[in-house]
Structure 1
Amino acid sequence: MQFSERYGYKPIREIIQKESINTNLKNSLWNTISECIFNEYSRPYLARANLISGSNLESFFKLLFHSYFKKRIDQIPYSIESTIAEIDTLFFKTYKWYEIYDFIEACLDYFPFDLDEKESFATLLNSCLEIENSVYRIINYRVTEITSEQEIQSIEDALINTNPYSGVQQHLNQSLKLMSDRQKPDYRNSIKESISAVESICKIVTNEDKATLGKALKIIEDKHGLHAALKGSLSQLYGYTSDADGIRHAMLEESNLSYIDAKFMLVACTNFINYLIEKTT
């Protein structure tokens, strides 16, 4: 992860890719399509050139040109190299971010090999999307959003609202950093940092440096009228971090926590932080 991401200088939307595809993700997706489809090309029997006609990818390209590109199939270039070059230009120079996802769905729809290979293709695409922190995943062979606009907005708002509280902001930045690290994400400690941000803001609001989260929530409830159901939800989240998967304990076994777990905790905690700051200031 780069300096600008680690210390919160890069906008959230550049870290969590929604309605955009950066160069790294675009290259990763293209490489996956190349490896799983284009590079599996085999020549027609006895042919001396890499012709499309008669090859194992002929039907794939015909479907793409007819049903997706809406072009005449007799305009398909003769060679595999020319055909890929034409698609390359569209993918890297012409297409907007959403058209790239349209093209990926078309590749899944017209995938030219067996179901097991198609599953592997979808898995590799998902790996690219996860590594590059896209909000989209391949689910049932469709590109599906897994992070909403409201969730991203909550994180952005919390980082702005906590400007006066450097300790809280540091916990949130660290949580985001650990969750979105492209090389080695640490979901366990990302969750820990999210709940630590809540603990920090509660101590600030109550002016009780040594208060546990439970005690701080009770003070806030008495002083500001915190709804009992909301207090209960926060207490349960705190219990989750204390118990589930040994997040707050030095366990030796490998964690089974995922991006979804870390994202849920970060969004839940930023929602509460935003609520608490607005309610008490």
Structure 2
Amino acid sequence: MRFSQRLGLAPASKVAQRECMDDDLRSSLWSLLTLFYWDTYEPPYSDTFTRPAYVRRSNLQSLMFSLWLHFFKQPIDTIDVYWEQCHKRLRDLFFRAEWNEVYDFVEFVAEYGPERQKDTFIESCNSYLETENSAYRFVSGQITEITSEEEIAEVDSALANASAYAGTKAHLTAALALLSSRTNPDYRNSIKESISAVESLAKKLAKDDSGTLGSVLKALEKSKKLHPALKNAFSSLYGYTSDADGIRHALLDEPNLTKADARFMLICCSAFINYSIEAFNSE
């Protein structure tokens, strides 16, 4: 805590930054982009008689082409010839952008930038997002509004654990993407994808194409790997994941589904997936 904060002259903590971004956070994210990407610029060649800092044929050419083609949606022949000018343009755009556009940009660079920097860049971003009390974090390569570290870990673990179950992982990834969209979030379909992830796993673990969460619960109960309290909790989840036109049907027909609903379902389904895979694999 700084001197001013200890004396009560400055707030000790910020209000969670949701649907906004203050100057401290924006500057921190730009600094990370600078350290991990812009400062790594290497010119295509060095010549004492010509200016060497070209964008084309440099180590950042691929990233710049991707930005212009897929992010800015501009012709690549509008890319600045020299890196100094290109860098200035990126900086000006970054600091003029809306809060959600900044997150779009950071997410895009992480995805399309050199692979060797990606993991440490994302880790550093999450550290600063936490420090600046942002309501968003990188989860599986996407910036999403899941603020609890435990929630982030649960979803990340589910995506990692589901690697051997392609259908489950695909549904979880889709649920996260639909929830995380900053321009067009789709909470209803995010919930459907979370539910589908559980159903897909149930079929695999129960070795039954018509398998449901109920059949997995029975198998876990039979093997004595499920505590009765957990069984009751997961049975409540079964009301959402049942194929019958029961609670799930009523839930998805609800006209006022919120981000909280979709986030709860993603976390809950991720937790069940983690538990089930670990329990079955320990047999």
Calculate the TM-score normalised by the size of structure 1: 0.47
From the CA coordinates, give the structure whose radius of gyration is larger. 1
Return the structure number with greater relative CO, CA threshold 8 A, min gap 6.
Answer: 1
